[in-house]
């Protein structure tokens, strides 16, 4: 009985398969490619979409739709200076500002105009 207890609690207990412990590595282990192990495949399979199922059934959320509408409605408003002389619409003022900043050496504005092909 004592000998049997020693075998059970021994750190070097032998397994039934030829004297190797459970944690030892053997030459019979199969090497799998990255992501090809059966356990890995099984874990991924339950998270994949079914055939014909899309990731986002509602589609892309409309972003800033109302903001764009409001900005476009304001773009054609005429702006006046302190002596009530017309300066132009908001859209025209922004475009003039881009050209004016580029003329004064703002590299970002120059790059923008070049990228849009306005300097050709």
Whether 60 is in a domain gets the answer: no
d(CA 116, CA 120): 9
What 3-state DSSP class applies to 57?
coil
Whether 94 is in a domain gets the answer: yes
Would you say 88 and 96 are in contact if contact means Cβ atoms under 8 Å apart?
Answer: yes
pLDDT in tens, the chain (120 residues): 555 555 555 454 444 455 555 555 556 678 888 878 888 877 777 777 777 777 777 777 778 888 888 989 999 999 999 999 999 999 999 999 999 999 999 999 999 999 999 988
Whether 35 is in a domain gets the answer: no
105 lies in which domain range? 65-116
Whether 58 is in a domain gets the answer: no
What is the value of pTM for the model shown?
A: 0.46
């Amino acid at each position: 009985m004592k000998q049997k207890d020693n075998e059970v609690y021994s750190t070097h207990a032998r397994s039934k398969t030829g004297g190797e412990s459970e944690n030892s590595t053997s030459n019979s282990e199969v090497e799998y490619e990255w992501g090809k192990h059966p356990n890995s495949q099984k874990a991924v399979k339950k998270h994949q979409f079914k055939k014909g199922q899309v990731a986002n059934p509602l589609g892309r959320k409309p972003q800033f739709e109302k903001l764009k509408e409001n900005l476009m409605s304001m773009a054609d408003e005429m702006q006046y200076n302190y002596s009530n002389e017309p300066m132009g619409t908001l859209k025209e003022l922004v475009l003039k500002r881009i050209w004016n900043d580029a003329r004064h050496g703002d590299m970002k504005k120059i790059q923008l105009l070049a990228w849009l092909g306005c300097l050709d």
